């Protein structure tokens, strides 16, 4: 840190420090005296605002700035200039745009390679590049660092990111965090000003002061501080207060920043308001969540700094990056859509990077598996492990073996090799594929994975043409396509018996909560019709799947629904300690044969338990029972569990409420993610052995320990759905929609997946919902079209450029109709000896998918902080390696990112500030466990939108235009209060309504006459007969259709309470829980990289 | 003056008591020399239509120190159901009597027609129960199902694994729950009838070469547990209907591999019955718990092979339940026997009583040595309890959980008067039997029987004593002792003991001889189950029936058409021109000699001129019918003729192993058995008796 600071400093730096000092002074000084407000806040506010605003405003410390507030650029004089140059010129606009442009040219980035070296490539922050500009940027960084450095006294702050407590803040605001202490101060003031317009009034010095003071820096300092500062800036006391304010203003950050710095802008407005409801106010008033950063507390360091700095009060230094100048996900996505969405992606060429997941494109299988099945972090693999280690780019493939295809694409052909079974390599057992090399006139073939020469069986013999290809190559899917299926022979079946069709067992919690919430009645009613839509295969008239029913509370009720019965029979098993299945015949039945009895049962279940008083439930025995039932029936299958509460009844798998938020940010935090008891793992193993997949629908009213309950679904390839505080009126659509989809989706059962690779690399690690009993076979009791397995590869030898690297993923599974099959996906990758090739063929979305899964698994065993640090370090290493080896020589202060990875920092930041790695106060332990488990089997498209939500303006484009509007960046700055926006991340869907939306629009969409009449939290839009209403609803439906889970709509009004929730998803902003803003994080990354380079 | 015989019979009529000695030797020494112990057979509930009981149970004042009985001087508040004791002024609640409970435990691993027959019998029995009786249904096969009886729509049952025993606590999840399983018959009559009608065979497939998995042990355990906590000391019958041996879980008697046969006496002697000890222990534990709760367990076992009665016998034996053995539920033997359980007395009450305690009090010169019968000790020590135990001893009180008017206990006494402390001439010893019990009308009743007999000095009054000897009672009492020993000791030892006794008492030899050969002591050619079955009944029947069991009656109705003539129970009686009727208690056999059979074949009975032959043929049938109707359990009825396959039943109820020998030579060829013939036995006996010092 220090280093950097010092380096960049050149001219500008000097200033920054001063600023800080000033800042500190103001804040501190003020605070001490003033209210008792927690120091931290003061600090926070300070920092935050400072941060955002920093860049430009900083300079214009003078009151003048205040005027500037609005436009960042416009602002500060000096600062502005500098800024302007910097931000606009190089950094922001220049680079980014340039980069994008380049990309365009060659669908495949490479072309641009050369460019890369050039400033343009590195999309980004070259800020420093040019003396002035760069300087500024650096300055910011430096400032931050400096503060840190200065901080020495206040060590914590120095660490910036590191410090657990401060973490949130730290990470969040680059500057702020680390610097908070010092940094913020400097900037803080500016921010305050930022608020400018409005806030100035508040300025009342006293309040602010008080709040800040508390912190601590000690009374003594304060005074001194004030002294100096004030003088410089005049703010003296008041300024201090600003820090708080600062935070509040955030939205307009930029301007304010500048202003702030100079003039004590801070002092002005905010103080008073802030101190009380600190964060809230900010949000409320400012809309944008930026303020959140409470972390900043650490700031004090500033004080120390302060002393020294007093003189330099000039705010100039810190500059802020123009958000428009840094790489924009939206832009990248748009560009890719425009460039690659129009033509089909043809898979014939080895090592091609496919279009982004956000682009709609068709795939033509010409020998490599479609990217819908497999995506790789890089399509060009280093030949040696040394290279790979140097680059630190994880080599991973995200595989979705049963992915659903759009109707235009053919599903894999089924190949039948007859009684002898699929043709395979004798040595490595790889399956016949297009890469196998036929030799000796076609009598033998050489395995493309292990090079073993195998005889071609007589019945498979075929002559070769002049190019050495079999003449029937195009008649045989296994010789010409990337993906296809083999019919398995009995040798591939359990116990050497062909499987019988699988079964579905519905297991319904009928305890008090489930009945009272209306769940039981709703579910039973739905099942009556849903059972007609069980998955079928091909053109089958009816599903081969049999069904069974169990209800339970602290005992289990099995039902005999044999078709010959007049009435169903209930059999109660109360011996939950030693679960067994009380009946075989009549439990699993064919739906159409037993329809009358089933209907009668589903009618009676809600009645039977209508008056139940039983509140206790069991859980493990329920799964056990389902598994035993499948075992008794000798088939695979799926359990659908509908469960409401923590299983506290006396039984195996009984759980305690061990939720403890105090563990957050401690070394014991990992226990929150770990299962409470090993019983569930053992149970899961048994389930996997039986091919029993478990889907869990949770309806908790309080803590249910998702971490433990989801163990079995997780290990059996099942899904978990969570509906907190389920109420029929509000949640029925979402639940039923998920249920329908879940029941109807095609599933493969009792599956085993193995990934084979060319000699030289080897699959070493796997992420996803499955179980592994050895190091190579991924066992999946069930696998559906949404589930993804991420596989990491490592070198165990050299690869060579000529042969490339081949992957073959073979999935053995039982289809819905009970047919045993093998699905094969092949993918050929290039190999390289130049690092630049690697960086040119990476896919950031896939990389993020891998890194998120890696990190989310890491929290099971390591403190969250360690996990975060690891991620940051790895990312920095990747980028530093590029900078060092691939980028053209340029100023050390320049941040140069590889074209393919220019979004890595912003996405990584999103991962870092996700609820798992940085929980906000409103995030429950269950939520975190739930998300953690969800992400584990997400595909690339899902992780992409999950971490970087889509924000769509609805009222910007003409009403007639019903296509999806172009997204905007997920930042409060991008919201205009005269518009309506949709935000979705695959799980949540918000409709944000600006406070100044035209009445006509309000009327059209909500059917009420004014903004104030819109019900906050509304989840259904009225069906109105006007274009706008239709368009909005159509868009919502469209978004839902794209996602595997139904997204419940939540209408959020600007400045309403719910907005807090909404702001959590504006991921480019600082988060309430302390997550860094994009800009801050980028700065931080830069700093890390520089450190690595030096 | 009446003869001793008349005296004895009068006493039995009145008191239900028969003593081995009706004049008692006056000292311990003398009594010991008498060989046959002073003992009596007591039928506590002998029907006495002439004794109108008070129409409600005796109501005791609830104050422990008072316990006065409700009497006309008490103030009664009928509305509040309260009464005030006139002695201590305690206010007492008048509780409602609890209803009888019948818990059916039904094996579903039956052949379809067997199951059907059983279902019909059970449905029929519902109509015989008093409307307020509580009934419950447990079915078992591989699993055990406890059926909830009061549900509408979906029928519910609780299912338990058949391989795992549960504690009573686990079973009684809650009293409320248990109450769902036991419902008044009048409320759920229809439900239960339907439920029984829909009862299916155990749905779990039985692979080839296997026995069905039958969880009898757990089913019984659940039944016991169900009643244990909720209805202690209330009249309750657990009725187990089983069609085969328990094959899994606690109480399993044989594995499910058909190739491994169920244990035989041979296996048991060779210590080769691997499940027997464990199973027996399980059922004993259940029996003891049941007895402690005052409930009883009946076993109705119908199967061609053994069903494990040997292991399960203690359940009825200790609780006063019934044991019925048959070949199939689809036989009249079972159907009628079962129906007879619900027979009613002249007041319309079941001939059954529950939860009885029998207390025996004696005058000073006597002590109680023990009792043999369907009872368990209550372990009440007292001054009148002897140190020496005969049967279940060491107590003066016994619990008899289930009893009927014929239930008879053997009670053994010891004369403790010392030789040097003579009893005055004309002195009388007295014994009082106090039986508390729950009448089938659910009233609690007490019957008190007090008897007295003269003391006599052996030296001076031996004649009197001899004259007052009741040889029949003595034989049965000795037999009970023998059977009791046989249950616990090795067969040969018991025989030796019995021989010794006999040698010492050369009085009534044939009883002993037949006892010696009877299935009660001999296990040869009987399965362990059969032995258990015979012994069970022997230990509870009254004197007359017991005698029949020991020495079957063989009669020849030909000689007189009106009175049956007993004939010598020997193969020599089997002649060509005879019609014989034999009653062994368990079987009734009618045998037509060769000539008679030929006549019948020729159709003489249909000719008017031979009407007397027709009567001759008819007479034994009528006679047998009479017996069949009265006896419980209903005997096996066999009608055979010369050369018929069942003919060997005739002379030798304990079928001998040599009976493949062609039967029916005119003179009745000697039957070879592994045992001595009566003639040989008698010869030896005489010789020994003469040479013996005693």
Per residue in A245-279, pLDDT (tens digit) is 333 333 333 333 333 333 333 333 344 333 333 33
Residues 724-783 of A with CB under 8 A from B: none
CA distance, residue A545 to nearest chain B CA (Å): 22
Do residues A636 and A749 lie in contact, with contact meaning Cβ atoms separated by under 8 Å?
yes
Q: Do A580 and B155 touch (CB under 8 A)?
A: no
Chain-centre distance for alpha carbon A852:
7
Poorest-pLDDT segment among A36-40, A854-858, A1089-1093, B54-58: A36-40
Q: Do A580 and B156 touch (CB under 8 A)?
A: no
Candidates A575, A580, A583; nearest CB to B203: A583
What is the reported pLDDT for A379?
A: 96
Q: Which residue on chain B is closest to A605 by alpha carbon?
A: B154
Angle between helices A182-194 and A301-308 (to 10 degrees): 90
User: Which residue shows structure tokens 């690092």?
Assistant: A835
Instruction: Kindly state whether A572 is in contact with chain B, defined as any CB-CB distance less than 8 angstroms.
Output: yes
When pLDDT is averaged across residues B389-397 and rounded to a whole number, the result is: 89
Instruction: Say how far apart CA A242 and CA A42 lie, in whole Å.
Output: 8
How many CB atoms neighbour CB A426 within 10 A?
A: 12
CA torsion A755-A761-A763-A765 (nearest 10°) is -160
CA distance, residue A628 to nearest chain B CA (Å): 13
Q: Do A583 and B143 touch (CB under 8 A)?
A: yes
Poorest-pLDDT segment among A702-706, A1035-1039, B2-6: B2-6
According to the per-residue pLDDT averaged within each range, which of A150-164, B99-113, B222-236 is highest?
Answer: B99-113
Q: Do B154 and A585 touch (CB under 8 A)?
A: no
Q: Which residue on chain B is closest to A564 by alpha carbon?
A: B198
**Correct CATH for A949-1066 of 3.40.250.10, 3.40.50.150, 3.30.479.30, 3.40.20.10:** 3.40.20.10
What is the reported pLDDT for A766?
A: 96
Burial code (b: 16+ CB inside 10 Å, e: under 16) for B640-661 equals: bbbebeebbbbbbbbbbeebee
- Enter the tokens of residue A1089: 């990289």
Name the pLDDT band for B5 (thresholds 50, 70, 90): confident
Instruction: Say how far apart CA A845 and CA A909 lie, in whole Å.
Output: 13
Of B140, B142, B154, B218, which to mutate for an interface test with A (greatest number of A Cβ within 10 Å)?
B154
The per-residue pLDDT of chain B, averaged, comes to 79
Of B157, B178, B180, B207, which to mutate for an interface test with A (greatest number of A Cβ within 10 Å)?
B157
CA distance, residue B239 to nearest chain A CA (Å): 22
What is the reported pLDDT for A225?
A: 37
pLDDT digit string (tens) for A1022-1060? 999 999 999 999 999 999 999 999 999 999 999 988 898
Q: Do B157 and A570 touch (CB under 8 A)?
A: yes
Do residues A271 and A46 lie in contact, with contact meaning Cβ atoms separated by under 8 Å?
no
CATH number of A414-483: 2.30.30.380
Which of chain A's residues have a Cβ under 8 Å away from the Cβ of B157? 569-572
Q: Which residue on chain A is closest to B203 by alpha carbon?
A: A585
User: Regarding predicted confidence, which is higher, A277 or B236?
Assistant: B236
Task: Give the total residue count for chain A.
Answer: 1094
Q: Is A175's pLDDT higher than 50? A: no
- What phi and psi, each to the nearest 5 degrees, are found at residue A128? -65, -35
Give the residue range(s) of CATH 3.40.50.410 domains in chain A.
503-744
Instruction: Say how far apart CA B287 and CA B292 lie, in whole Å.
Output: 8
pTM of the model: 0.75
Instruction: Say how far apart CA A770 and CA A755 lie, in whole Å.
Output: 14
Name the pLDDT band for A501 (thresholds 50, 70, 90): very high
CA distance, residue B151 to nearest chain A CA (Å): 10
Instruction: Kindly state whether A634 is in contact with chain B, defined as any CB-CB distance less than 8 angstroms.
Output: no
Which of chain B's residues have a Cβ under 8 Å away from the Cβ of A559? 154
Where are any strands of DSSP class E within B498-602?
A: 553-556, 565-566, 579-583, 587-592
User: Regarding predicted confidence, which is higher, B126 or B232?
Assistant: B126
Chain A, chain B: beta-carbon pairs less than 8 Å apart: 60
When pLDDT is averaged across residues A289-311 and rounded to a whole number, the result is: 37
Instruction: Kindly state whether B218 is in contact with chain A, defined as any CB-CB distance less than 8 angstroms.
Output: no
Instruction: Kindly state whether B332 is in contact with chain A, defined as any CB-CB distance less than 8 angstroms.
Output: no
According to the per-residue pLDDT averaged within each range, which of A943-952, B45-54, B188-197 is highest?
Answer: A943-952
Instruction: Kindly state whether B133 is in contact with chain A, defined as any CB-CB distance less than 8 angstroms.
Output: no
Classify residue A390 as exposed, middle or buried by CB count within 10 Å of its CB (0-12, 13-18, 19+). middle
Poorest-pLDDT segment among A93-97, A546-550, B121-125: A93-97
- What phi and psi, each to the nearest 5 degrees, are found at residue A951? -120, 115
Instruction: Say how far apart CA A1077 and CA A906 lie, in whole Å.
Output: 9
Instruction: Kindly state whether B206 is in contact with chain A, defined as any CB-CB distance less than 8 angstroms.
Output: no
What is the reported pLDDT for B53?
A: 57
Which of chain B's residues have a Cβ under 8 Å away from the Cβ of A578? 161, 164
Which of chain A's residues have a Cβ under 8 Å away from the Cβ of B145? 571, 582
Instruction: Kindly state whether A343 is in contact with chain B, defined as any CB-CB distance less than 8 angstroms.
Output: no
CA distance, residue A595 to nearest chain B CA (Å): 16
Instruction: Kindly state whether B173 is in contact with chain A, defined as any CB-CB distance less than 8 angstroms.
Output: yes
Candidates A571, A586, A608; nearest CB to B145: A571
Poorest-pLDDT segment among A87-96, A724-733, B173-182: A87-96
Angle between helices A237-247 and A16-24 (to 10 degrees): 100
According to the per-residue pLDDT averaged within each range, which of A158-172, A243-257, A487-501 is highest?
Answer: A487-501
Instruction: Kindly state whether B304 is in contact with chain A, defined as any CB-CB distance less than 8 angstroms.
Output: no
How many CB atoms neighbour CB B583 within 10 A?
A: 22
Do residues A110 and A840 lie in contact, with contact meaning Cβ atoms separated by under 8 Å?
yes
Instruction: Say how far apart CA A302 and CA A182 lie, in whole Å.
Output: 3
Name the pLDDT band for B252 (thresholds 50, 70, 90): very high
Name the pLDDT band for A967 (thresholds 50, 70, 90): very high
Give the residue range(s) of CATH 2.30.30.380 domains in chain A.
414-483
Query: Into which CATH architecture does domain A843-948+1073-1093 fall?
Result: Up-down Bundle (1.20)
Q: Is B103's pLDDT higher than 80? A: yes
- Enter the tokens of residue A846: 């896939």
Q: What percent of chain A has pLDDT over 70?
A: 71
When pLDDT is averaged across residues A719-729 and rounded to a whole number, the result is: 93
User: What is the biggest distance separating any 2 CA atoms in chain A, rounded to whole angstroms?
Assistant: 96
* DSSP of B380-412: ---TTB-SS-SSB-S-SEEEEEEE-TT--EEEE
Classify residue A218 as exposed, middle or buried by CB count within 10 Å of its CB (0-12, 13-18, 19+). middle
Q: Do B203 and A601 touch (CB under 8 A)?
A: no
Rg (CA), chain B: 27
Q: Do B166 and A558 touch (CB under 8 A)?
A: no
Q: Do B203 and A574 touch (CB under 8 A)?
A: no
pLDDT digit string (tens) for B327-355? 999 998 899 889 888 888 877 888 888 88
When pLDDT is averaged across residues B454-460 and rounded to a whole number, the result is: 80
Do residues A655 and A619 lie in contact, with contact meaning Cβ atoms separated by under 8 Å?
yes
Q: Do A574 and B156 touch (CB under 8 A)?
A: no
When pLDDT is averaged across residues A179-201 and rounded to a whole number, the result is: 37
pLDDT digit string (tens) for A771-805? 999 999 999 999 999 999 999 999 999 999 999 99
Q: Which residue on chain A is closest to B166 by alpha carbon?
A: A575
Query: CA triplet A112, A115, A117: central angle to 5 degrees?
Result: 130
Candidates B155, B164, B203; nearest CB to A584: B203
pLDDT digit string (tens) for A884-899? 888 877 776 788 899 9
Name the pLDDT band for A139 (thresholds 50, 70, 90): very low
Do residues A761 and A799 lie in contact, with contact meaning Cβ atoms separated by under 8 Å?
yes
Q: Do A601 and B154 touch (CB under 8 A)?
A: yes
Q: Which residue on chain A is closest to B167 by alpha carbon?
A: A575
User: What is the biggest distance separating any 2 CA atoms in chain B, rounded to whole angstroms?
Assistant: 84
The per-residue pLDDT of chain A, averaged, comes to 76
- Please tell me whether residue B39 adopts helix, strand or coil conformation: strand
When pLDDT is averaged across residues B627-646 and rounded to a whole number, the result is: 77
What is the reported pLDDT for A486?
A: 95
Q: Do A575 and B203 touch (CB under 8 A)?
A: no
What is the reported pLDDT for B67?
A: 62
Give the residue range(s) of CATH 3.40.20.10 domains in chain A.
949-1066
What is the reported pLDDT for B557?
A: 59
What is the reported pLDDT for B571?
A: 61
Candidates B155, B159, B160; nearest CB to A567: B155
Q: What is the ipTM of this complex?
A: 0.77
Instruction: Kindly state whether A596 is in contact with chain B, defined as any CB-CB distance less than 8 angstroms.
Output: no
pLDDT digit string (tens) for B565-588? 556 566 666 667 777 777 888 888
Name the pLDDT band for A36 (thresholds 50, 70, 90): very low
Of B141, B153, B169, which to mutate for an interface test with A (greatest number of A Cβ within 10 Å)?
B153
Instruction: Kindly state whether B509 is in contact with chain A, defined as any CB-CB distance less than 8 angstroms.
Output: no
When pLDDT is averaged across residues B351-380 and rounded to a whole number, the result is: 89
CA distance, residue B312 to nearest chain A CA (Å): 26
What is the reported pLDDT for B645?
A: 58
Burial code (b: 16+ CB inside 10 Å, e: under 16) for B124-162 equals: ebbebbbeebbbbbbbbbbbbbbbbbebeebbbbbbbbb
Do residues A955 and A1000 lie in contact, with contact meaning Cβ atoms separated by under 8 Å?
no
Instruction: Kindly state whether A610 is in contact with chain B, defined as any CB-CB distance less than 8 angstroms.
Output: no
Q: Do A573 and B145 touch (CB under 8 A)?
A: no
Give the residue range(s) of CATH 1.20.120.730 domains in chain A.
843-948+1073-1093
What top-level class would CATH report for the domain A503-744? Answer: alpha beta
CA distance, residue A557 to nearest chain B CA (Å): 8
């Amino acid at each position: 840190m220090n280093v950097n600071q010092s380096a960049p400093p050149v001219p500008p730096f000097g200033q920054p420090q001063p600023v800080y000092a000033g800042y500190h002074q103001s804040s501190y000084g003020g605070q001490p005296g003033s209210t008792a407000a927690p120091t931290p806040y003061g600090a926070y506010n300070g920092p935050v605002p400072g941060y955002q605003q920093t860049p430009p405003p900083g300079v214009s410390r003078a009151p003048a700035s205040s005027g500037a507030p609005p436009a960042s650029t416009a602002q500060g004089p000096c600062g502005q200039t500098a800024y302007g140059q910097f931000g606009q010129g190089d950094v922001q606009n220049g680079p980014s745009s340039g980069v994008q442009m380049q990309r365009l040219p060659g669908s495949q980035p490479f072309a641009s390679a050369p460019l890369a070296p050039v400033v343009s490539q590195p999309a980004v922050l070259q800020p420093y590049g040019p003396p002035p500009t760069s300087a500024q940027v650096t300055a910011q960084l430096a400032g931050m660092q400096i503060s840190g450095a200065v901080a020495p006294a206040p060590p914590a702050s120095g660490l910036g990111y590191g410090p657990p407590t401060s973490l949130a803040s730290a990470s969040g605001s680059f500057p702020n965090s680390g610097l908070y202490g010092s940094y913020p101060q400097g900037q803080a003031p500016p921010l305050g000003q930022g608020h400018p317009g409005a806030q100035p009034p508040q300025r009342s010095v006293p309040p602010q002061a008080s709040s800040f003071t508390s912190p601590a820096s000690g009374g003594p300092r304060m005074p001194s501080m004030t002294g100096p500062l004030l003088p410089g800036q005049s703010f003296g006391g008041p300024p201090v207060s600003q820090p708080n304010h600062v935070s509040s203003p955030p939205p307009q950050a930029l301007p304010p920043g500048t202003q702030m710095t100079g003039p004590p802008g801070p002092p002005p407005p905010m103080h008073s308001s802030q101190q009380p409801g600190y964060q809230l106010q900010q949000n409320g008033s400012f809309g944008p969540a930026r303020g959140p950063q409470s972390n900043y507390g650490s700031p004090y360091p500033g004080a120390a700094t302060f002393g020294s700095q007093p003189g330099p009060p000039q705010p100039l230094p810190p500059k802020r990056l123009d958000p428009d100048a840094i790489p924009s996900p939206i832009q990248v996505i748009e560009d890719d859509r425009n460039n690659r969405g129009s033509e089909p992606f043809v898979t014939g060429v080895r090592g091609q990077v496919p279009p982004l997941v956000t682009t709609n494109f068709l795939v033509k299988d010409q020998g490599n598996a479609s990217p819908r099945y497999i995506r790789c972090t890089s399509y060009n693999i280093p030949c040696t492990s040394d290279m790979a280690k140097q680059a630190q780019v994880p080599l991973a493939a995200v595989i979705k073996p049963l992915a659903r295809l759009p109707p235009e694409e053919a599903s894999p052909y089924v190949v039948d090799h007859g009684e002898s079974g699929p043709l395979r390599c004798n040595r490595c057992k790889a399956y016949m594929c297009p890469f196998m090399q036929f030799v000796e006139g076609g009598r033998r073939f050489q395995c493309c994975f292990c090079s073993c020469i195998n005889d071609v069986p007589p019945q498979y013999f075929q002559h070769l043409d002049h190019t050495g290809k079999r003449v029937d190559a195009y008649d045989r899917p296994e010789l010409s396509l990337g993906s296809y299926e083999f019919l398995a022979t009995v040798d591939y079946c359990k116990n050497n018996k062909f499987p019988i069709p699988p079964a579905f067992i519905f297991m319904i919690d009928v305890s008090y909560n489930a009945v009272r919430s209306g769940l039981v009645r709703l579910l039973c009613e739905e099942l009556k019709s849903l059972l007609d839509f069980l998955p079928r295969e091909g053109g089958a008239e009816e599903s081969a799947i049999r069904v069974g029913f169990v209800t339970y509370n602290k005992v289990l009720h099995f039902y005999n629904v044999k078709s010959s019965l007049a009435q169903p029979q209930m059999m109660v098993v109360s011996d939950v300690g030693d679960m067994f299945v009380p009946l075989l015949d009549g439990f699993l039945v064919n739906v159409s044969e037993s329809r009358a009895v089933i209907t009668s049962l589903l009618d009676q279940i809600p009645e039977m338990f209508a008056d139940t008083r039983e509140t206790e439930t069991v859980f493990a025995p329920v799964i056990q029972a389902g598994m035993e039932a499948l075992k008794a029936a000798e088939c695979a299958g799926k359990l659908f569990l509908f469960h409401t509460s923590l299983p506290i009844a006396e039984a195996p798998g009984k759980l305690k409420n061990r939720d403890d938020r105090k563990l957050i940010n401690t070394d014991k935090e990992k226990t929150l993610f770990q299962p409470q008891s090993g019983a569930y793992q053992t149970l899961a193993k048994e389930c996997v052995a039986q091919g029993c997949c478990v889907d869990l629908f949770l309806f908790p009213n309080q803590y249910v320990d998702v971490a433990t309950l989801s163990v079995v679904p997780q290990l059996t390839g099942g899904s978990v759905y969570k509906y907190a505080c389920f109420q029929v009126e509000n949640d029925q659509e979402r639940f039923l929609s998920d249920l329908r989809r879940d029941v109807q989706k095609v599933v493969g059962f009792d599956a085993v997946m193995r990934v084979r690779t060319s000699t030289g690399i080897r699959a070493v690690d796997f992420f996803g919902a499955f179980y592994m009993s050895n190091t190579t076979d991924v066992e999946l009791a069930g696998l559906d079209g949404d589930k993804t397995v991420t596989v990491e590869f490592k070198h165990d030898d050299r690869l060579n450029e000529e042969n490339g690297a081949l992957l073959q993923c073979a999935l053995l599974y039982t289809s819905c109709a009970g047919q045993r099959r093998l699905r094969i996906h092949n993918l050929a990758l290039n190999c390289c000896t130049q690092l630049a090739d690697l960086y040119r063929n990476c896919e950031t979305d896939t990389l993020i998918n891998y890194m998120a899964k890696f990190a989310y698994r890491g929290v099971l065993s390591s403190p969250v902080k360690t996990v975060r640090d690891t991620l940051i370090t790895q990312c920095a290493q990747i980028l530093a390696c590029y900078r060092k080896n691939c980028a053209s020589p340029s100023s050390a202060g320049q941040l140069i990112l590889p074209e393919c990875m220019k979004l890595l920092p912003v996405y990584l930041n999103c991962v870092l500030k996700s609820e798992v790695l940085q929980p906000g106060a409103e995030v429950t332990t269950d939520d975190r466990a739930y998300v953690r488990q969800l992400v584990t089997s997400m595909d690339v498209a899902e992780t992409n939108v999950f971490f970087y939500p889509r924000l769509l303006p609805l009222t910007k484009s003409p009403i007639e235009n019903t296509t999806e509007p172009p997204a905007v960046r997920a930042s409060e700055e991008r919201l205009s209060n005269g518009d309506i926006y949709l935000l979705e991340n695959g799980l949540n869907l918000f409709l944000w309504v600006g406070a100044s939306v035209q009445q006509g629009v309000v009327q059209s969409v909500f059917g009420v006459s004014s903004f104030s009449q819109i019900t906050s939290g509304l989840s259904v839009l009225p069906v109105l007969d006007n274009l706008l209403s239709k368009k909005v609803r159509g868009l919502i439906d469209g978004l839902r259709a794209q996602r595997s889970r139904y997204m419940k709509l939540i209408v959020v009004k600007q400045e309403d309470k719910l907005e807090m929730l909404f702001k959590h998803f504006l991921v480019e902003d600082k988060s309430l829980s302390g997550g860094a803003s994009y800009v801050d994080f980028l700065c931080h990354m830069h700093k890390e990289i520089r450190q690595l380079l030096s | 003056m009446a003869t001793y015989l008349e005296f004895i019979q009068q006493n039995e009529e009145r008191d239900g008591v028969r003593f081995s000695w009706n004049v008692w030797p006056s000292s311990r020494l003398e009594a010991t020399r008498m060989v046959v112990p002073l003992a009596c057979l007591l039928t506590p509930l002998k029907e006495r239509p002439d004794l109108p009981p008070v129409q409600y149970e005796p109501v005791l004042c609830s104050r422990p120190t008072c316990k006065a009985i409700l009497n006309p001087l008490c103030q009664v508040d009928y509305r509040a159901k309260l009464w005030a004791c006139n002695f201590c002024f305690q206010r007492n609640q008048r509780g409602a009597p609890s209803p009888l409970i019948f818990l059916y435990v039904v094996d579903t691993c039956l052949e379809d027609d067997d199951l059907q027959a059983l279902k019909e019998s059970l449905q029929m029995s519902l109509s015989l129960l008093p409307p307020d009786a509580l009934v419950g249904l447990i079915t078992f096969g591989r699993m055990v199902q406890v059926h909830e009886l009061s549900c509408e729509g979906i029928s519910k049952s609780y299912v338990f694994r058949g391989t795992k025993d549960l504690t009573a606590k686990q079973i009684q999840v809650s009293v409320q729950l248990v109450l769902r399983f036991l419902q008044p018959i009048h409320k759920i009559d229809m439900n239960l009838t339907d439920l029984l009608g829909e009862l299916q065979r155990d749905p779990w497939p039985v692979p080839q070469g296997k026995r069905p998995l039958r969880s009898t042990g757990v089913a019984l355990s659940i039944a016991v547990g169900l009643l244990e906590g909720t209805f202690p000391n209330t009249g309750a019958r657990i009725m187990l209907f089983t069609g085969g041996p328990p094959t899994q879980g606690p109480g399993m008697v044989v594995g499910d591999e058909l190739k491994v046969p169920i244990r035989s006496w041979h296996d048991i002697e060779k210590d080769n019955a691997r499940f027997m000890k464990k199973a027996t222990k399980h059922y004993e534990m259940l029996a003891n718990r049941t007895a402690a709760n005052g409930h009883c367990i009946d076993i109705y076992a119908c199967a061609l092979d053994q069903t494990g009665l040997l292991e399960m016998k203690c359940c009825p034996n200790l609780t006063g339940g019934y044991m019925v053995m048959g070949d199939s539920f689809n036989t009249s033997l079972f159907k009628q026997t079962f129906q007879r359980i619900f027979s009613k007395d002249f007041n319309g009450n079941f001939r059954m009583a529950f939860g009885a305690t029998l207390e025996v009090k004696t005058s000073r010169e006597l002590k109680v040595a023990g009792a043999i019968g369907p009872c368990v000790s209550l372990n009440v020590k007292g001054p009148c309890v002897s140190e020496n135990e005969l049967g279940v001893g060491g107590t003066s009180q016994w619990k008899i959980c289930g009893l009927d008017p014929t239930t008879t206990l053997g009670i053994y006494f010891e004369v403790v008067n010392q030789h040097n402390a003579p009893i005055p001439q004309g002195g009388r010893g007295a014994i009082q039997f106090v039986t508390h019990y729950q009448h089938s009308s659910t009233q609690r009743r007490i019957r008190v029987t007090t008897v007295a007999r003269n003391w006599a000095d052996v030296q001076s009054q031996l004649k009197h004593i001899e004259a007052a000897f009741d040889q029949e009672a003595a034989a049965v009492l000795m037999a009970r002792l023998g059977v009791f020993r046989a249950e616990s000791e090795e067969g040969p030892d018991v025989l030796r003991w019995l021989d010794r006794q006999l040698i010492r008492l050369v009085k009534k030899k044939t009883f002993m001889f037949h006892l010696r050969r009877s299935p009660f002591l001999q296990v040869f050619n009987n399965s362990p189950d059969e032995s258990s079955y015979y012994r069970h009944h022997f230990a509870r029947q009254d004197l007359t029936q017991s005698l029949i069991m020991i020495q079957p009656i063989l009669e020849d109705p030909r000689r007189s058409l009106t009175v049956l003539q007993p004939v010598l129970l020997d193969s020599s009686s089997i002649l060509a021109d005879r019609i014989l009727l034999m009653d062994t208690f368990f079987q009734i056999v009618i045998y037509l000699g060769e000539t008679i059979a030929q006549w019948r074949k020729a159709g003489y009975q249909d000719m008017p001129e031979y009407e007397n032959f027709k009567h001759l043929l008819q007479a034994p049938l009528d006679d047998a019918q009479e017996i069949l109707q009265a006896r419980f359990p209903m005997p096996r009825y066999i009608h055979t003729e010369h050369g018929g396959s069942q003919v060997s039943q005739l002379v030798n109820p304990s079928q001998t192993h040599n009976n493949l020998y062609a039967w029916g030579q005119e003179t009745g060829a000697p039957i070879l058995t592994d045992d001595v013939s009566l003639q040989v036995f008698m010869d030896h006996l005489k010789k020994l008796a003469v040479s013996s010092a005693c």
